[in-house]
Amino acid sequence: MVYLDHNATTPLDARVLEAMLPYLGRFYGNPSALHRLGRLSRGAIDRAREQVAALVAVRPEQVIFTSGGTEASNLALWGLSQKFSSARLVSGQTEHPSVAEPVAALAKIKGWSLDYLPISSGGVHALPSDEYFSKGPVIAALMKANNETGVLEDPRPLGERLRALGGFLHVDAVQAAGKIPLDFASTGAHTLTISAHKIRGPKGVGALILDPEVRMSPMTWGGGQERGLRPGTENVAGIVGFGIAAELAKKELETRAAQALSLRYQLEQGLSELSGVTLHAAESPRLPNTIQFSFEGWDGEALVMALDREGFQLSSGSACASGGNEPSPVLMAMGVPADLARGAIRVSLGVENEAHEIDAFLKTLKGLSRASHERQE
């Protein structure tokens, strides 16, 4: 089996599992307890907070652990919205559902306007007009790296603009963390989301990173954990795993990125030699590990299933959105025709992938292309 779906999730690193196991076994103390076992768990969380903080170049107090990226973005958007009796919402057009849906829900619940940032055909967003900013407070969301196309954004100018005007910017950096250098300050964000399972850590744990100046309301109540912003007994083993995964991702970032980029180039070169392939956002700055393309004559989901039968695991777009036969909303926002968008599949590479797997994948694609042509004749 060849796994090419690392933007959906990654395998758990063996070193992460090893670090987690004691906290699923003998170190079971509640981190809020005063006794020795409790203090052991508290110490482990403190260490993990430092490791996660280092990945995004912030102080440990700026890290709020959550149950994952989805919860972190919901908390940010909800928490920021409570600061205003009236505000406007503005969002990128290709946000992950964990941002797009809470933004749309807030607009509905609060009765606030929701606008979308202008986007290029390469999937990169631009600032709204100057006039837009003059009409009152704005809460904005713009992702750092897109999960489908891998397109990289520069949210900083938007963040700076909003900072000067008393507005707020939330950045979803779930796909960027651990794949490109990521420094919280350079994103311009007031709040930023990351998630453990995209960086070889466990599922069900993530973090919201806060600007030290930002004060906001919780979304749930019931304890003082995580500075009262995410109450409830902590997922100690998960947080420990996230910490180690973050430390390893930071230490190994350059080698992981270089390896992914070399495989991406190999795959792109091979795809360019196949007829009927359209590479999406080919000219835009992209994550080193992500390639999205459409294959003429194939529907994306049918192609995913055909490749699965041949032993290749990948997605037809965002894994969370799969299950329907709708064209990818990300590609539609970029102006890709519906037929082509419906045929898109995504390869997302990881550290365990090797050059011979890419060769085998290209060979299989060639075979499927031949079969599809013969069907059509």
Residue numbers at the binding site for ligand PLP (CB under 6 A): 68-70, 96, 98, 143, 147, 172, 174-175, 195, 197, 206, 320
Query: At its nearest, how many Å lie between ligand PLP and the CB of residue 270?
Result: 26
Query: At its nearest, how many Å lie between ligand PLP and the CB of residue 248?
Result: 18
Residues tagged active-site: 320
Query: At its nearest, how many Å lie between ligand PLP and the CB of residue 171?
Result: 10
Distance CA 338, CA 215 (A): 43
Query: At its nearest, how many Å lie between ligand PLP and the CB of residue 148?
Result: 9
CA 306 to chain centre: 27
The token pair at 356 is: 């011979």
- CB nearer to ligand PLP: give 40 or 52: 52
- CB nearer to ligand PLP: give 20 or 368: 20
Which of 288, 276, 287, 285 has the alpha carbon at shortest distance from 368?
A: 276
- CB nearer to ligand PLP: give 72 or 271: 72
- CB nearer to ligand PLP: give 42 or 346: 346
- CB nearer to ligand PLP: give 99 or 365: 99
Which of 39, 20, 22 has the alpha carbon at shortest distance from 30?
A: 39
Query: At its nearest, how many Å lie between ligand PLP and the CB of residue 54?
Result: 20
- CB nearer to ligand PLP: give 10 or 41: 10
Nearest position to ligand PLP, beta carbon: 69
Q: What residue has token string 């609060």?
A: 110
Task: Provide the greatest CA pair distance for the chain.
Answer: 75
